[in-house]
Amino acid sequence: MDWIERIAEIRRWTRGGERAPHKPLLLLYALGRFQRDGNRSIPFSAAEAELKQLLKEYGPPRETSPGYPFHHLTTDGLWLVDTRHGPGSPGPGLRQLRDSGAAGRLHPDLARALAEEPGLLARIARHLLDAHFAPSLHPDLCLMAGLDLETSAQAPKAAVRRDPAFRDQVLMAYEYCCAFCSYEGWLDGTVVGLDAAHVRWWAFDGPDDVANGLCLCAIHHKLFDKGVLGLTAERTITVSARYAGRTQSSRDLVLSLAGRPAREPQAGLSRVEQDHIAWHSHQVFRPPART
């Protein structure tokens, strides 16, 4: 049985390209628990707060319930839920799951494969990360999910499927300056601290071209992928009102960006396309925007 293919076929709610990483987040969490405890049942009452935080941090901007993936992942043959009354999930409602003593675990066939094939867990986790989340988020997401993919000698590196020329093209287009703060830096003739950020994530059909890229410093790239920063249709920078920063550096590096125009690429090179900006605004940025 090819478990990567099974994972790739997870049924997800979709509408107009919206992100719905609820089931992938639960699977990453369950894999982290499997690393530590084996395939012991995970009581919903114990997992609820952690799943809610994962959904808040890495799910879509709209609020969502941890009961949704805990119940619905059972339809994909990867996850089982039992209650004190017997096998089967009572439904996605939080009260139903709490009151019935619901507990979930990986399907025994998957758990057996993970135990017998040492590199499988890391391959599944890498697939879920690559397919559903921006690369800048992977380390922190693994940490929150309790996944250790770095110390395992058998943990594969992320598959390189992106266009290797994308970074060079985007950095050149913005003349090696952050489009948000104009940072530039070089070490022995090599640019440092600058990334080529996808506006529409590669995992959601974001192309590797300049019209979907921004040259951003490392900190603004991370904040852009987390939804702290965004762009308007006029390509001015937005800052989420949910972001809180009281120090002078927070004001200088983040809060002062609100309403500032983003740097434009060199003349003759493509600006970020409106469709990609709109996708980021609806799927990643955390509204409302500060005024």
Q: How many CB atoms lie within 10 A of CB 108?
A: 10
pLDDT tier, 159 (very low <50, low <70, confident <90, very high otherwise):
very low
Q: Which amino acid is at 158?
A: A
pLDDT at 161 over 60: no
- In sequence order, the 6+-apart residues with CB closer than 8 A to the CB of 151 are none
Tens of pLDDT along 164-199?
789 999 999 999 999 999 999 999 888 999 999 999
Indicate the helix (H) or strand (E) that contains 216: strand 213-217
Query: pTM of this prediction?
Result: 0.79
pLDDT at position 17 is: 63
Q: Do 109 and 86 touch, CB atoms closer than 8 A?
A: no
Taking alpha carbons only, the member of 10, 24, 25, 36 closest to residue 114 is: 36
- In sequence order, the 6+-apart residues with CB closer than 8 A to the CB of 178 are 184, 194, 215, 216, 217, 220, 263
Tens of pLDDT along 91-116?
999 999 999 999 999 999 999 999 99
- In sequence order, the 6+-apart residues with CB closer than 8 A to the CB of 68 are 22, 92
pLDDT at 31 over 70: yes
C-alpha to C-alpha distances, 142 to 30, 31, 57, 180, 257, nearest whole angstrom: 12, 10, 12, 28, 29
Tens of pLDDT along 37-90?
999 999 999 999 999 999 998 988 888 899 999 999 999 999 999 999 999 999
pLDDT at position 63 is: 84
> Whole-angstrom Cα distance, residue 131 to residue 121?
15
Q: Which amino acid is at 238?
A: T
Q: Do 81 and 104 touch, CB atoms closer than 8 A?
A: yes
Taking alpha carbons only, the member of 273, 133, 137, 127 closest to residue 204 is: 133
Tens of pLDDT along 226-272?
999 999 999 999 999 999 999 999 999 999 999 999 999 999 999 99
C-alpha to C-alpha distances, 287 to 62, 241, 280, 283, nearest whole angstrom: 9, 7, 11, 10
pLDDT at 162 over 90: no
pLDDT at 152 over 60: no
Rounded to the nearest angstrom, the gap between the alpha carbon of residue 236 and the centroid of all alpha carbons in its chain is 24
pLDDT at position 257 is: 98
Average pLDDT over residues 20-34: 95
pLDDT at position 285 is: 97
pLDDT at 14 over 80: no
